[in-house]
Amino acid sequence: MSPLDTRDTGAFADALLPWYDQHARDMPWRVGPAARQSGTAPNPYHVWLSEIMLQQTTVAAVKDYFLKFVSIWPRVEDLAAADDDAVMAAWAGLGYYARARNLLKCARAVVSEHEGVFPQTEAELLTLPGIGPYTAAAVSAIAFDAPSTVLDGNVERVMARLHDDHTPLPDVKEKLRAYAAAKTPEHRPGDYAQAVMDLGATICTPRNPACGICPVMRMCAARRAGTAAELPKKKRKAAKPIRTGTVFVAVTRQGDVLLERRPEKGLLGGMMGFAGNVWAETPEPAEPPIDATWRRLDAKARHTFTHFHLELSIMLAIVDFTDEMTAERRFDPQSLPTVMRKVWNIVSEELR
């Protein structure tokens, strides 16, 4: 099959679905193939919630968060009515906090505009806050069995290898979408979408793909060419810059901790954290949030975000509670975003 040939006779799905029936991954949000074929329909709320959580996050990291969310907010109506702070605290540690803000906006739109019922088509789903092309396709396919073309990193890798396409990402993305669209069947499209993602996650892996046990090995041009492990090609990424900043941690003698809410827009938007300056490669001088005797700790908190590395200097003060402070009296470090938890871990060691 040539790299530009997107034709498919259904053979790919015909080979893949029996494998999925035997080897589907067990996930708390998933209705397995046997249950689905016997008439059990997926819960659209569960499908949507899991897809939002899984963006740029592993299945292993998401499972416990998903179970926590559906335990606290079992229906989309419950999530829509939830307190923003409670949702952000429950999300803490999962990262990419704009997802949590959009989660609430989307849940409220489903309730207010769709009477608590998720739209079924990609076009309608795309009108909801925080839902882009991938999520719209995934929810319509998995929840509603629509023949939507789902294209995540796993599917991109499978398609690049099937066609032995050496065009680097991201330039090749639309070509990979065309390959994937040609292979999306009208029969069992929801199971198929999950099957091709499972194939990429468990067999057609980034490193050391298990070509010898792949259910579609005979169709794979890269396997025949011996190039599977090289694909997909990616453009060389520029080195991540290092940004720095300063945070101020004030702990009262009564055991309270001074926190501030970050602006709604921007990194860690809406989350609680320690006061400080704007993180930058050459940051502006940091101004302490209150008058106190501050001392700089030797250790720095280090964290890596998608586009940069961060190093935070930590200033610590032990203070008396005053009316000018808004202190968190029931301080739970687990409700902080990961970078702020790293700061607190260093401070905790200092306070021992």
Query: Which of the residues are catalytic?
Result: 51
Cα pseudo-dihedral 196, 199, 204, 210, rounded to 10: -150
Instruction: For residue 48, give the amino acid letter.
Output: W
Query: Which spans in 92-169 are helix H?
Result: 98-114, 122-125, 133-144, 153-162
Query: Which spans in the chain are helix H?
Result: 11-23, 33-37, 44-54, 59-72, 76-80, 84-91, 98-114, 122-125, 133-144, 153-162, 173-183, 189-202, 221-225, 338-351
First to last CA, the chain: 65
Are 143 and 48 in contact by the 8 Å Cβ rule? The answer is: yes
Are 143 and 189 in contact by the 8 Å Cβ rule? The answer is: no
d(CA 218, CA 162): 9
Those residues whose C-beta lies under 8 Å from the C-beta of residue 257, and which sit 6 or more positions away, are 249, 250, 251, 327, 328, 331
